[in-house]
Amino acid sequence: MILWWQVILLTLYAGYQILDELQIYSSLSAPVAAGFISGIIMGDVKTGLIIGGAMQLTVLGVGTFGGASKIDANSGAVLATAFAVALKMDPQQAIATIAVPVAALMVSLDVLGRFANTFFAHRIDAKVEAEDYKGIQRNFLMGMIPWSFSRMIPVGLALAFGAGVVKEIVKVLNGPLLWLGNGLTVAGAVLPAVGFAILLHYLPVKKHFAYLILGFTFTTLFTTVFGYAQLLGGSIKGFSGVINGLPMLAIALLGLAFAAISYQTGQKIGNAPKAASSNNDEGEIEDDEI
Amino acid sequence: MTKSNYKLTDKDFHQINMRSLFGFQLGWNYERMQGSGYLYHILPQLRKIYGDNTPELKSMMKTHTQFFNTSNFFNTIITGIDLALEEKQGIDAQETVAGLKAGLMGPFAAIGDSIFGSLVPTIFGALAASMAAQGNPVGIFIWIAAQIAVNVFRWVQLKFAYKEGISLVTTMQDKLNAITDAATIMGVFMVGALVATMVNVKFAIVPQIGGVSLDIQNNLDMIIPRLLPAAVVGAIYWLLGKKGMTSTRAIFIVLVVCVALSAAGVISKM
């Protein structure tokens, strides 16, 4: 079960993360960090990291463009981690059964929060008229309330009262509806693909498709080799070395090198006497969420 | 008075930056978005420039609560240019400032959203998430370090923009374009890498054809490993291009299709 202090800490985090995302963007407001922090609070960091990581990938391309509401993967990750740890759910299943529906439902509360803030904007107008400078600042800072409460209230309520319902769902998914439970686990594993596809719509893939192929091919080959090496290393008796999985940082460095090469060649062309036509064909990011 | 004698000091820049970093979007609302935030973050400086209870201050406060929305990673560039003007010309700059804000917010929103709202989270989020999938939180700390660097950049740009003025916009444009282009390459590369590692699905079905069982997954692996994940991403990419498709809808379609195919025994988790 989820203890009372865990409910309080998770609720406080739910309120903090949206303010962080709006302001300093420390990345503690990212879904992967939401899973990590919830994991620490719940006492099972690994489950939190798995859920947070999967939610991070699912919303990878979903940025906030021009103030559009986006699927609230953070609250989803918090609730999924809490229930997965408390009720010993399979993390993958928790992603599809809890994190995704919660994240989608929370969109309407984000809209509500943004809407509620209009009230304070009008109060500020009145204070400007009255030349009440302190009042302007006070009413501006009160905008914090709709923002954080729109997360804290649903997350807190779900944590405090949701356990019974979730417990029933888990029981059914692993009993009479096992096919559904298994299916949701598979879905949890496939969901990051949505994040990648959304992202590809925002990135200029047509211009840089070669790098997409490079990234995929390098990684698919290495990950297979590393995967089997790990398997072999683990099964050979007397083998003392430790073989880890494919380090993603190494792959990211390859990508960084390609980016650096492109940047350097770009600068050279830019310095050439014939000022290259700098027409902006970057216009892939045209409007709000797809 | 119309002309102000006040000169902004480092203390003022510090105060604006603090308010920008920790308070710029708290008042975000559908009607005027960051309008009240813009007023809030320069209010003390406006009061110093125009003096309390003057008609000029009231009039400028009204100008600054108007609709405003830009990237909160670049907003103080606009602030810097704006305040340099107001400091020199006072209330005479009112129309120029209103035009400047309206003119610059769009371009900076586009650049900021693509670099800081999309590419940085993609590259570092991908790294953090794939490390997290192996139970390793180090990627999160790498991301935090990167965001601290970004916040330093957000901090220094105000004074820089204040000194350079409007000419800054044109000189920045080319450099930002080159950086964005390089960053998109890394973004695209990382997506390719993620498709190969993070979509964990395979064919489970082994159909019997003329008494011979056909291991589909094994045959695909001989072509190239992880072909099914690549095909899945391609299919969702195509789906998202359809009219009326939203990312949330796509997520639920994937949910339903996965459950159906899994129940039929066609696919399973890798």
| pLDDT range class, residue A63, cuts 50, 70, 90 | low
Rg (CA), chain A: 23
Distance from CA of A169 to the nearest CA of B (A): 16
Read off the pLDDT of each residue in A206-215 and give the average, rounded to a whole number: 93
Compute the distance between CA of residue B167 and CA of residue B185 in angstroms, rounded to an integer. Answer: 29
**Chain centroid to CA A192:** 10
Where does chain B have alpha helices with state H?
A: 10-23, 35-50, 55-64, 75-89, 94-112, 120-133, 138-164, 167-198, 216-223, 227-240, 247-263
Instruction: Find chain B residues with C-beta within 8 A of A22's C-beta.
Output: 24-26, 28, 72
Residue B232 forms contact with A (CB below 8 Å):
yes
Compute the distance between CA of residue A32 and CA of residue B134 in angstroms, rounded to an integer. Answer: 12
Instruction: Find chain A residues with C-beta within 8 A of B173's C-beta.
Output: 278
| pLDDT range class, residue A15, cuts 50, 70, 90 | very high
- Dihedral (Cα; A44, A46, A48, A54), 10-degree rounding: -160
Closest alpha carbon within chain A to B67: A121
Mean pLDDT computed over every residue of chain A: 85
Identify the pLDDT of residue A271: 52
| pLDDT range class, residue A109, cuts 50, 70, 90 | confident
Compute the distance between CA of residue B104 and CA of residue A133 in angstroms, rounded to an integer. Answer: 27
Residue A105 forms contact with B (CB below 8 Å):
no
| pLDDT range class, residue A16, cuts 50, 70, 90 | very high
**How many cross-chain Cβ pairs, A to B, lie less than 8 Å apart?**
408
Helix/strand/coil for B172: helix
Give the residue from A32, A106, A132 with the most B CB atoms within 10 Å of its CB, the best one to mutate.
Answer: A32
Cβ(A139)–Cβ(B39) under 8 Å? no
Domain edges within chain A: 4-195, 204-271
Identify the pLDDT of residue A65: 54
Identify the pLDDT of residue B68: 92
Residue ranges of A 219-278 with Cβ closer than 8 A to chain B = 219-221, 223-224, 245-246, 248-249, 251-252, 254-256, 258-260, 262-263, 266-267, 270, 278
Give me the average pLDDT of each 10-residue run along chain B (270 residues): 74 95 89 91 94 92 92 92 90 89 85 82 89 92 94 93 83 79 88 89 86 85 90 93 85 91 89
Residue B145 forms contact with A (CB below 8 Å):
no
List Cα–Cα distances, B85 to A163, B8, B48, B92, B232, in angstroms.
Answer: 58, 12, 15, 9, 53
To 5 degrees, how large is the angle CA A192–CA B260–CA B238? 50
Distance from CA of A44 to the nearest CA of B (A): 10
Domain edges within chain B: 10-192, 201-269
ipTM: 0.83
Identify the pLDDT of residue B236: 93
- Spell out a b/e string for A164-179, using b for 16 or more CB atoms within 10 Å of the CB, else e: eebeebbeebeeeeee
Identify the pLDDT of residue A247: 81
- The DSSP letter of residue B115 is I
Cβ(A58)–Cβ(A192) under 8 Å? yes
Compute the distance between CA of residue B216 and CA of residue A289 in angstroms, rounded to an integer. Answer: 36
Would you tell me how many other CB atoms lie within 10 Å of the CB of residue A185?
23
Residue A159's closest CA among A151, B218, B124, B56? A151
Residue B255 forms contact with A (CB below 8 Å):
yes
- The DSSP letter of residue B208 is E
Please write the tens of the pLDDT for every residue from A125-178.
999 999 999 999 999 999 999 999 999 999 999 999 988 888 888 888 888 888
Read off the pLDDT of each residue in A230-257 and give the average, rounded to a whole number: 80
Inter-chain touch A140–B258, beta carbons under 8 Å: no
